[in-house]
Amino acid sequence: LRIEQELRRALVEDELEVHFQPQLALGGGRVTGAEALVRWRHPVRGLIAPGEFVPVAEETGLVEPLGRFVLAEASRQAAAWAAMGIPIRVAVNVSPLQFRNPRFSEAVLQTIREAGVDPSRIELEITESAAMADPSHAARELAPLRSAGVRIAIDDFGTGYSNFAALTQLPFDVLKIDRSFVRDALVTPGARVVVEAVLGLARNLDVETVAEGVETEEQRAFVTAGGCTFGQGYLFGRPMPAEAFEAWYANRL
Ligand code: G
Ligand code: G
Ligand code: MN
Ligand code: NA
């Protein structure tokens, strides 16, 4: 209960902040995007990771304002970066609960419009399990977003139970291979098979791929050889505040 009240206060008093983790084209190494990851700058406890408070937000009806805050902040940042000569996309996580809203796409498009960002700079990450919980709802909500130019990524792919027939009916642009498979790909045959299968599926569906959690040169080489489009992970860069991201970006040029 206490954490719920504190989270309400955090939303009002600007204690939440958004960090950005780089995404690179595996062929060539160009920085193409960043994933927005929320953190709570708690006055006493310091920086709190989303795993500790996003579930609380989901249980207490705070996930709507939280999601709106992160999307608005990510949109504002993407527009500012484009104006500064950092022309990258920003990917935003969507809570499964938020996605269930029958007005989801409407609300998202309104926030993006208010931020004045080109919708093609925004990518929404819907988890595989949220997308597959109700494939016809997912198709209905994703279509207008995609028509407006927003990119759609399926997050944590490989961890859910995909109905492949339904998946092929979904309008999306990119599959994000869950980091557990990338981590284990060079260790366990099962994980390697999953990574190769997802890359093959994406190729056949003509969608792009992001390998998450790339930590080593060997993992980078493995997913690159398999034809993965983008990489994200500590090997390239950790999630960083916007100003640190700008310094990191400038350093690479
Ligand atoms: O940021 P971290 O590396 O600790 O992220 C942990 C988890 O929290 C990830 O699964 C990520 O998808 C989730 N997460 C991070 N930021 C957000 C957010 O803004 N909204 C939602 N719903 N989940 C987020
Ligand atoms: O579930 P989601 O895809 O949104 O996950 C993003 C999470 O993955 C964030 O918590 C981020 O900090 C974490 N992450 C990103 N890169 C790496 C990495 O290379 N290794 C590990 N262990 N975690 C990572
Ligand atoms: Mn994500
Ligand atoms: Na993921």
Residues with CB under 5 A from ligand 3 (ion): 93, 125, 155
* Nearest residue (CA) to ligand 1, atom 1: 37
User: For residues 124 and 155, is the Cβ–Cβ distance under 8 A?
Assistant: no
What ipTM was assigned to the predicted interfaces of this complex? 0.96
Nearest atom, ligand 2, residue 50 CA: 10
Q: What is the DSSP string of 116-152?
A: T--GGGEEEEEEHHHHHHSHHHHHHHHHHHHHTT-EE
Q: Is residue 16 pLDDT above 80, yes or no?
A: yes
CA–CA separation, 98 and 62 (whole Å) = 10
CA–CA separation, 204 and 215 (whole Å) = 27
Cα 54 to ligand 1 centre (Å): 8
Residue 242: partners with Cβ closer than 8 Å, 6 or more residues away: 18, 20, 77
CA-closest candidate to residue 77, choices 42, 110, 33, 40: 33
The number of the ligand nearest the C-alpha atom of 91 reads 3
Q: Is residue 1 pLDDT above 80, yes or no?
A: no
The pLDDT, as a whole number, for residue 64 is: 95
* Span 131-164, pLDDT tens digits: 999 999 999 999 999 999 999 999 999 998 888 9
Q: Mapping DSSP to helix (H, G, I), strand (E, B) and coil, where does residue 175 land?
A: strand
Taking the CA atoms of the chain, what radius of gyration do you get in angstroms? 18
Cα 103 to ligand 4 centre (Å): 25
CATH class of the structural domain 2-252: alpha beta
* Span 20-32, pLDDT tens digits: 999 999 999 999 9
* Nearest residue (CA) to ligand 1, atom 24: 93
The number of the ligand nearest the C-alpha atom of 128 reads 4
